């Protein structure tokens, strides 16, 4: 007798072993038709997996969310590989996983693929779907599998299999005449893939990600259950390309980057004004929430990073130098150990806690050249970093206060859809399991008290503690992980941070690592793309341009400019001998929110013609009223 417990708590009894498909059929023909795979005691398995014991079972269908999409995209990679082998038999297949929003497969082929090849491959994939090829799992002995793939000329597959212990069975999946190495699970047949997929682009990739190995050709694709979802995704990509912060940054003269300072940013006056507006806003919010601001050194002796544990866990991302007197220094990759050094100066009492220590800290981390992406991913960046030194009893109240502050700040920048992930202990970590148990329990309790709904992000905690990751959704639906809150019992112990408790005994503070923007560079890139450069008035680098139609209005235009500046507005003057339509077009491309146009009549009446970005209309307004209105609109959030 086999008892199958379903997600709703009901139990189905069978007097013989059954497959997931058998269970789906027993529930109803609609479910059987939609079934793609199953989870058995939480682990995803093929629909044909034989169930010969009591288990908890869930049927995966297209409505099962991320798990179903990942399964679909995994199969899309295999169908693409089958199509490539049919069209170009000399090609070797290597590795092909599902990734966020899609999939890829790396191929070894002497002739480069081109865009016309992608069209052929995509067409053949559709034919394979139409064939409705059953996808079945087989288990082989390792050496037998190695010999099989070597016989096919697939040296890369053979190399992967040969690295697996000889006593392990090798999982192979067969679909039609194509057979591939895979742990699975897979869809029951190629027809289940459907045709809502598209091959997107070509790229180079080293075998096993090692630059010493051969260069392979990578084909990226995307796959969805519904063509509407595919079309929506492609539309989002098209919109994202229009919003690319690198292009807008050039058009608005915000910043540039060049090879001589790879991974760093040259901020131009307008871009730096945007930075300063964000920094000033953040500083006001921190001061209002009882943070103290500090500044710590850029170069710190490597011994501090060894003591903190960063040298062991993070050294590959650190820039180091050896000085003339043979001291080994590191350019700081983060601020945490330096903040502990400030905390350790003098005697701290429980009355001093919580101590909220903030820094707009300039940090450097090595990122491979191929990973750099505009100002979104750089080597030199500024964190809106803070560390809250508190007692264990204060973890919950500090978490609640931080989450409230974070939500308010995101809302002021226009982000109201925020999701939270709970990241628990990683494989590579510092501290005993008992310490991690305590930290994870404390953070979970605090997040519940803060009213957060969290999803588990297993194994993605910091090396010193679990964390909450705050993911915001932008104007076109993309998700960005920005804020974090981490509970750390480890670093205060390693760096000997202490305070005097109410009982007079020496105690360790808890250290809450927290960021809201993440890094200024990346957050500004997100803002640029979210607003497509059309910033709200309080953020716009240039808020108003005063433009003349005739030279007789120049003197009054200068007076208007001075009135705007006196009211605290960031304004510029355009007295060029150009037609007004040319000026309007040029400043619209530069995304200036407001233009005040002045002709002879406006100068005589001491008025302005106010034009808003994106509008063809203009409003004639008295100078004093225009200045007062714009000053009010440009006032930053409190």
Active-site amino acid positions: 336, 365, 383, 385, 387, 467, 513
Question: Which candidate, 354, 72, 339, 385, places its Cα nearest to that of 230?
Answer: 72
The pairing of beta strand 328-331 with beta strand 299-301: antiparallel
Distances from the Cα of 207 to the Cαs of 107, 160, 182, 201, 364, in angstroms? 9, 11, 17, 18, 29
Question: Which candidate, 315, 396, 325, 385, places its Cα nearest to that of 356?
Answer: 385
Question: Which candidate, 83, 75, 79, 76, places its Cα nearest to that of 37?
Answer: 75
Q: How far is CA 398 from the centre of its chain?
A: 25
The span from the first CA to the last CA of the chain, in angstroms, equals 66
Q: Report the C-alpha gap between 317 and 96 in whole angstroms.
A: 27
Q: Report the C-alpha gap between 122 and 520 in whole angstroms.
A: 41
Q: Can you state the angle between helices 155-162 and 142-151, rounded to 10 degrees?
A: 170
Question: Which candidate, 571, 570, 577, 569, places its Cα nearest to that of 548?
Answer: 577
Whether 489 and 455 have beta carbons less than 8 Å apart is answered as no
Question: What backbone torsions phi and psi does residue 584 show, to the nearest 5 degrees?
Answer: -60, -45
299: its two tokens: 């170069």
Q: Report the C-alpha gap between 601 and 88 in whole angstroms.
A: 73
618: its two tokens: 């203009």
Q: How far is CA 78 from the centre of its chain?
A: 27
Residues 6+ apart with CB under 8 A from 236: 476, 477, 478
Question: What backbone torsions phi and psi does residue 23 show, to the nearest 5 degrees?
Answer: -65, -45
């Amino acid at each position: 007798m086999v008892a199958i417990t379903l997600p709703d708590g009901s139990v189905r009894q069978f007097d013989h072993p059954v497959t997931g498909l058998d269970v789906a059929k027993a529930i109803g023909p609609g479910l059987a038709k939609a079934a793609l795979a199953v989870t058995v005691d939480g682990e995803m398995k093929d629909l044909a997996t034989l169930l010969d014991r009591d288990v908890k079972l869930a049927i995966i269908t297209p409505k099962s969310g991320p798990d179903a999409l990942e399964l679909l995209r995994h199969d899309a990679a295999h169908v693409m590989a089958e199509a490539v082998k049919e069209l170009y038999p000399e090609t070797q297949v290597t590795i092909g996983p599902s990734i966020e929003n899609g999939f890829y497969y790396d191929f070894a082929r002497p002739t480069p693929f081109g865009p016309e090849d992608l069209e052929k491959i995509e067409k053949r994939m559709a034919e394979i779907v139409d064939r409705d090829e059953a996808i079945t799992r087989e288990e082989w002995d390792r050496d037998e599998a190695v010999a099989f793939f070597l016989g096919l000329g697939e040296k890369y597959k053979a190399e992967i299999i040969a690295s697996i212990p000889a006593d392990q069975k090798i999982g192979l999946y067969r679909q039609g005449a194509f057979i591939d190495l895979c742990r699975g699970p897979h869809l029951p047949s190629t027809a289940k893939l459907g045709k809502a997929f598209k091959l997107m682009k070509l790229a180079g990739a080293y075998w096993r990600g090692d630059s010493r190995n051969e260069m392979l050709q990578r084909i990226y694709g995307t796959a969805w259950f519904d063509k509407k979802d595919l079309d929506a995704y492609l539309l989002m990509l098209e919109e994202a390309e229009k919003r690319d912060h690198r292009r807008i940054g050039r058009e608005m003269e915000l910043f540039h980057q060049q090879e001589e300072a790879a991974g760093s940013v040259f901020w131009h006056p307008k871009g730096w004004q945007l930075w300063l507006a964000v920094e000033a806003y953040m500083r006001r919010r921190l001061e209002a929430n009882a943070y103290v601001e500090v500044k710590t050194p850029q170069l710190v002796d490597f011994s501090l990073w060894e003591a903190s544990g960063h040298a062991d866990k993070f050294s590959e991302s650190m820039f180091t130098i050896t000085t003339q007197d043979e001291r080994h220094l590191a350019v700081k990759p983060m601020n945490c150990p330096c903040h502990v050094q400030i905390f350790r100066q003098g005697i701290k009492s429980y009355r001093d806690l919580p101590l909220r220590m903030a820094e707009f800290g300039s940090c450097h981390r090595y990122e491979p050249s191929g990973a750099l992406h505009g100002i979104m991913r750089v080597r030199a960046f500024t964190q809106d970093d803070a560390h809250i030194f508190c007692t264990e009893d204060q973890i919950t109240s500090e978490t609640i206060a931080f989450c409230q502050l974070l939500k308010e700040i995101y809302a002021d920048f226009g982000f109201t859809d925020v999701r939270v992930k709970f990241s628990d202990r990683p494989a590579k970590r510092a501290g005993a399991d008992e310490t991690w148990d305590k930290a994870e329990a404390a953070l979970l309790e605090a997040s519940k008290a803060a009213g957060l709904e969290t999803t588990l992000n297993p194994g993605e905690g910091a090396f010193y503690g679990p964390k909450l990751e705050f993911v915001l959704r932008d104007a076109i639906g993309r998700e960005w992980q920005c804020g974090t809150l981490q509970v750390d019992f480890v670093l205060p112990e390693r760096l000997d941070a202490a305070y005097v408790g109410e009982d007079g005994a020496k105690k360790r503070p808890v250290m809450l690592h927290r960021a809201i923007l993440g890094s200024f560079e990346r957050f500004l890139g997100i803002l640029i793309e979210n607003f497509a450069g059309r910033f709200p008035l309080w953020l716009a680098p240039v808020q108003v341009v005063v433009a003349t139609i005739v030279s007789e209005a120049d003197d009054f235009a200068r007076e208007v400019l001075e009135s705007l500046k006196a009211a605290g507005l960031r304004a510029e003057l355009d007295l060029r001998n150009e037609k007004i339509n040319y000026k309007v077009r040029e400043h619209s491309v530069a995304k200036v929110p407001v233009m005040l146009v002045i002709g002879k009549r406006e100068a005589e009446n001491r008025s302005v013609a106010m034009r808003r970005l994106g509008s063809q209309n203009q409003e004639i307004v008295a100078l004093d009223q225009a200045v007062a209105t714009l000053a009010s609109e440009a006032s930053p959030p409190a």
